[in-house]
Structure 1
Amino acid sequence: MEATYRVPAQTRIGHVHLKVSDLQRSLSFYCDLLGFDLITMYGTQAAFVSAGGYHHHIGLNTWYSKDAPPAPVHAAGLFHVAIVYPTRRDLAVIFDRLRNAHYPFSGASDHGVSEALYLNDPDENGLELYWDRPMDQWPRNEAGNIEMYTRPLNLESLLKEL
């Protein structure tokens, strides 16, 4: 019998491409509020944004969705896009920025391996903004397996990073 194939450990998820109903509104959210850089536009129907000059982390388009309502919550599809911040302080900065803009959050959780903020973009696409704790701090059981959990995130402690 052939050995089971495993994806190489260095594999990563490169980008996400989202259908949006209003490109300018989405660019305002992703660039002006979250702080991504606009890399390029494809006419008036698509844009590519990133952090740090990468070709794109997020694609936004209205090819099939211009002026459309959000996708139904109770349907198959994307649950959320996870954006990883490099440090806990970086997560605190974006939390404070969103909080000061009165942008609504749908949750905030400590998962043991990470701390996460949850919200929706203007088209109700779910977003998780998080940072990973160092691997040596991840909770493990007696067998050494990772034991993630979901507990309320201590937002006061997070803000002390500022």
Structure 2
Amino acid sequence: MGAVELLTDDLAPMRSFYVDAVGLELLDETDDRLSLGSDGEEVLGITRAADRPADIGTEAGLYHSAIVYPNEQSLATALLSVATVAPTSYSGSADHAVSLAFYFSDPDGNGLELYTDTPEDEWVWNDGLVQMGSAALDPNAFIQEHLGTTPTDSGATMGHVHLRVGDLEKARAFYADTLGFAITAESEDALFYAAGGYHHHIATNTWGTAGATARPESLGLGSLTIHLGDKGALLAVADRLTDAAATFTHDAGVITVDDPWGNTVRLLA
């Protein structure tokens, strides 16, 4: 997964949250855009968008972007920072069996997950689907157990993106059949998709948005970026989009396409 682009009407509180609290690096800054990342690689772009209404949770859009850390220690460092600088942003946590996840809301109300994966050889797969749970996970105990016990190099990247959509079968047709992701898990009113044997790179749910139609122009999600790994895969996606009569652009090695609800997806080789 590549960077997620967020749209905001006020860069200052978003800068404070993602840099001072979460601990992302400020890679570049202009009057209208922040580029934030880790180890010099962009994880989030935040662009000023004037005269747009706030994102509404009952419409299609971003459920959360999810930043993955390479180990429990680097995640514990980030969690302590958020707890110190922006404690009211915390919204929950869970042991998902494949990952240990902590949830927050940024100043604009965008969902944010900070997580680390559990050992891959402990993931349980049945008939191509991975078993994910939602067991209790104490954030204070996690920080106390892992803070400072081994190297804390961040290496944070965008692990997955979870979207609000209006219909799961349309989501399946777009993200699985057309873009080419495998279905890796199904739960009540949610589908999870991945490539390369990961638990999920994309998720879609209708938990509060069943029946939602095209997104109104709003703040929140601007776009999400997916790196496919080779030019052949990108060309294959272009062929499937053409066969599906989808409207898209393919320019300079980048495909830009909206899902059925107007969530913008950028695909690169």
Q: Is the 8 A contact 2:68 2:116 kept in 1?
A: yes
Letter of the 1:52 counterpart: D
Question: Equivalents in 2 of 1:152, 1:69: separation in Å?
Answer: 35
Partner SS for 1:103: helix
- Tell me the distance in 1 between the aligned counterparts of 2:3 and 2:70: 17
One-letter amino acid matched to 1:63: A
In the alignment, the residues of structure 2 paired with residue 69 and residue 97 of structure 1 have an alpha-carbon distance, to the nearest angstrom, of 30
Q: CA 1:131 to 1:74, structure 2 compared with 1: closer, same or farther past 3 Å? A: same
Which residue of structure 2 aligns with residue 14 of structure 1?
Answer: 2
Q: Distance in 2 between matches of 1:62 and 1:98?
A: 23
1:79 pairs, out of 60, 63, 69, with: 63
Which secondary structure state, in structure 2, belongs to the residue aligned with residue 74 of structure 1? coil
Aligned residues between the structures: 145
Q: Structure 1: which 5+ runs fail to align?
A: 1-12
Aligned residue for 2:100?
115
Is 2:138 aligned against 1:154?
yes
> Which of the numbers 81, 86, 95 marks the counterpart of 1:97?
81
Greater Cα shift, 119-128 or 28-37: 28-37
Deviations along 1:45-94, one digit per CA (max 9) or x if unpaired, are 1111110112x2111011345xx553111111111000001101112222
1:35 to partner: Cα distance: 1.2
- Structure 2 CA distance for aligned equivalents of residues 45 and 52 of structure 1: 23
1:59-70 to structure 2, matched below 5 A, reads 59-64=45-50, 70=54
Gaps of 5+ in 2: 148-269
Distance 1:24 1:155, change over 3 A: closer
Instruction: Establish whether residue 136 from structure 1 lines up as the match of residue 124 from structure 2.
Output: no
CA distance in structure 2 between the aligned counterparts of 1:157 and 1:144, rounded to whole angstroms = 33
- Asked if the contact 1:89–1:158 (Cα under 8 Å) also holds between the matched residues in 2, the reply is no
Q: Shift of the alpha carbon at 1:154?
A: 3.2
Alignment check: 8 A CA contact 2:21 2:84 kept: no
**2:12 matched residue in structure 1:** 24
C-alpha RMSD of the superposition:
1.9
SS in 2 for 1:94: helix
Q: Distance in 2 between matches of 1:145 and 1:89?
A: 29
- Residue 110 of structure 2 corresponds to residue 125 of structure 1: yes
Secondary structure at the counterpart of residue 57 of structure 1: strand
Deviates more, 1:100-109 or 1:130-139: 100-109
Q: Is the 8 A contact 2:94 2:135 kept in 1?
A: yes
Does the C-alpha gap of structure 1 residues 157 and 25 become closer, same or farther in structure 2, counting only changes over 3 Å? closer
Distance in 2 (CA, whole Å) between partners of 1:52 and 1:97 is 18
Larger relative strand fraction: 2
**Relative contact order: is structure 1 or structure 2 higher (C-alpha 8 Å, sep ≥ 6)?**
2
Q: State the percentage of identical aligned residues.
A: 35
2:26 to 14, 38, 53: 38
